[in-house]
Amino acid sequence: MYSIFSKIKLLYKPYTHQIQKVLEPHELTELQWGLLRYLQEDGPTTFSEIAEYWQVEKPSVTPVGQKLMDLGLIEVRPGKDKRQKVMHITETGQIKYRECKASVDLYQSKLLEGVSEQQIKVVNEVLEQLTNNVKKRG
């Protein structure tokens, strides 16, 4: 019998592969979509904050942000400290966000067919607790 961790691992790769297919018509990668979504839903942020959130090194975030800047979907402005670069979503980025979100929401709603609101709530609580435990224990 698979443990919960094996099931999470088995779900991850096919899910990310399918999300990439959903995003292909929008000409964004999953990482680009993740950054765009973060900026729209959580507000402006720095490259360092995204790196910490994604649990990656800052240089891993830079090309993702740069591509979104090249596409005109985000812009970078100085922060409180002039050396700090804060990413902001542009109006074009907000339009792209809405287009992508509609496609992603449709795909995810199909995945959740037959899953009750209560089950979703329990899974979210369990995953949040597991995430907290991993952070505590390393």
Res. 1: pLDDT tops 60: no
d(CA 62, CA 48): 10
Domains in the chain (CATH in brackets) are: 4-108 (1.10.10.10)
**Nearest-angstrom CA–CA distance, 66 and 80:** 21
Is pTM beyond 0.85? Reply is yes
pLDDT the model gives residue 82: 78
Distance CA 47, CA 54 (A): 10
> What is d(CA 48, CA 84) in angstroms, rounded to the nearest whole number?
9
Model pLDDT for residues 89-99, shown as the tens digit of each residue: 999 999 999 99
